[in-house]
């Protein structure tokens, strides 16, 4: 049974912002709800990534090379690149408060893309937009 309570929340996540309600139900069904204690590092820079985390409640701090980069909150997604390439994490993420997250693993993500092919284009567009934003922030 899909977690209906997360549909509105998932619609605000840039990665899924172009998805229909039916597609969001598939995302909710494919994800697992998890709580993370304050102070716990749940993403470690340099380690191989396998899953993405969508923050539902709480705050998390992102750091790279020991330097704080930003704070994330509800609607933010961490680790989406790992779903695509299973490469090393580019930053560490630590819970600044108790967190509720939706976790999307590689098998579930692959199944989701097979089940909802239209989601491929929407997610690629969202990722391309994110790359453009980062490029603009870095190079002007």
Determine whether 54 is exposed, middle or buried from the number of CB atoms within 10 Å of its CB (0-12, 13-18, 19+): buried
Domain ranges, ordered by start, for the chain = 4-139
Q: Please tell me the CATH code under which domain 4-139 is placed.
A: 2.60.120.10
Task: Give the per-residue pLDDT at 3.
Answer: 65
- Assigned token pair, 131: 């790359």
End-to-end CA distance of the chain: 45
Q: What is the pLDDT of residues 1-40, one digit of tens each?
A: 346 778 888 888 877 877 888 888 998 999 999 999 999 9
| Helices 21-30/106-115 angle, 10° precision | 150
Taking each helix axis from N to C end, the angle separating 118-139 and 106-115, rounded to the nearest 10 degrees, works out to 120
User: Are residues 109 and 83 in contact, defined by beta-carbon separation less than 8 angstroms?
Assistant: yes
pTM of this structure: 0.85
Q: 35 near 98, Cβ under 8 Å?
A: yes
Measured CA to CA, the distance from residue 106 to residue 87 in angstroms comes to 12
pLDDT digits (tens, 9 = 90+) for 68-84: 999 999 989 898 888 88
pLDDT at 1: 37
């Amino acid at each position: 049974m899909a977690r209906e309570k997360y549909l509105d929340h998932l619609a605000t996540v840039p990665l899924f912002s172009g998805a229909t309600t039916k597609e969001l139900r598939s995302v909710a069904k494919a994800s697992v709800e998890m709580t993370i204690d304050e102070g716990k590092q749940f993403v470690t820079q340099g380690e191989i990534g396998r899953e993405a985390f969508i923050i539902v409640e709480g705050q998390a701090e992102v750091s790279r090379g020991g330097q704080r980069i930003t704070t994330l909150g509800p609607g933010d997604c961490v680790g989406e690149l790992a779903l695509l390439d299973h490469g090393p994490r580019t930053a560490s993420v630590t819970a600044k408060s108790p967190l509720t997250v939706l976790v999307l693993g590689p098998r579930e993500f692959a199944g989701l893309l097979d089940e909802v092919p239209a989601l491929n284009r929407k997610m690629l567009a969202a990722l391309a937009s994110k790359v453009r934003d980062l490029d603009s922030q870095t190079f002007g």
